[in-house]
């Protein structure tokens, strides 16, 4: 009886099967969306507890506060348990989820030794990170 392809006997390189990669990516995406949803929900509850009785002013548009427009400000305010910042953090988690999927794909292709896919996926990952940073590098 032969050993499965992904066994690690006598130092043989363990490879990921296509099915294992698909399952891992699916779980990664699912976990990211669930984590983002829970985070936004908690932030929404905190926001409503603190600001739910306020009457919104729709005649004047006010964007997000300056201190929660960047990752550093969001993290600082999340530690203070501010509802808007927690909602923003949930959105950051949602944005980071497909980026984590692409980063995992680089790892999976590297384990397989597929250089062409590694290069293509690294290009995609670079474009995602560049656009996330607002085109400023």
| Structural domain span for residue 77 | 18-53+66-132
pLDDT at 59: 81
d(CA 102, CA 28) in angstroms, rounded, equals 11
H/E element, 72? helix 71-79
Q: What pLDDT is stored for residue 67 in this prediction? A: 76
Domain assignment present for residue 95? The answer is: yes
Report whether 44 contacts 91 (CB < 8 A): no
What pLDDT, on a 0 to 100 scale, did the predictor assign at position 131? 86
pLDDT in tens, the chain (137 residues): 444 454 444 444 556 788 888 899 999 999 999 999 999 999 999 999 988 788 877 788 776 777 777 777 888 888 888 888 999 999 999 999 999 999 999 999 998 888 999 999 999 999 998 887 776 65
pLDDT of residue 1: 44
**Domain count of the fold of the chain:** 1
Reduced to 3 DSSP states, what percent helix, strand and coil does the chain have, rounded to the nearest 5? Answer: 70, 0, 30
Q: What distance, in Å, lies between the first and last C-alpha atoms of the chain?
A: 54
What per-residue confidence (pLDDT) applies to 11? 46
Assigned domain for 31 exists: yes
Q: Is residue 12 part of a domain?
A: no
In a domain, 117, yes or no: yes
In a domain, 137, yes or no: no
Can you give the pLDDT at residue 135?
A: 63
In a domain, 60, yes or no: no
116 assigned to some structural domain: yes
pLDDT of residue 14: 57
Residue 45, in any domain of the structure:
yes
């Amino acid at each position: 009886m032969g050993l499965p392809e992904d066994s690690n006997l006598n130092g043989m390189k363990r490879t990921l099967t296509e099915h294992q990669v698909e399952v891992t990516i699916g779980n990664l995406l699912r976990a990211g969306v669930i984590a983002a949803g829970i985070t936004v929900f908690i932030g929404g509850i905190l926001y409503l507890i603190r600001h739910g009785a306020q009457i919104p002013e729709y005649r004047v548009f006010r964007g997000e506060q300056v201190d929660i427009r960047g990752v550093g400000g969001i993290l600082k305010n999340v530690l203070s348990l501010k509802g808007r910042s927690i909602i923003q953090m949930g959105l950051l988690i949602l944005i980071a989820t497909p980026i984590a999927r692409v980063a995992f794909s680089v790892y999976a292709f590297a384990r397989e030794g597929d250089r062409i896919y590694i290069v293509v996926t690294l290009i995609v990952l670079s474009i995602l990170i560049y656009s996330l940073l607002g085109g400023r590098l």
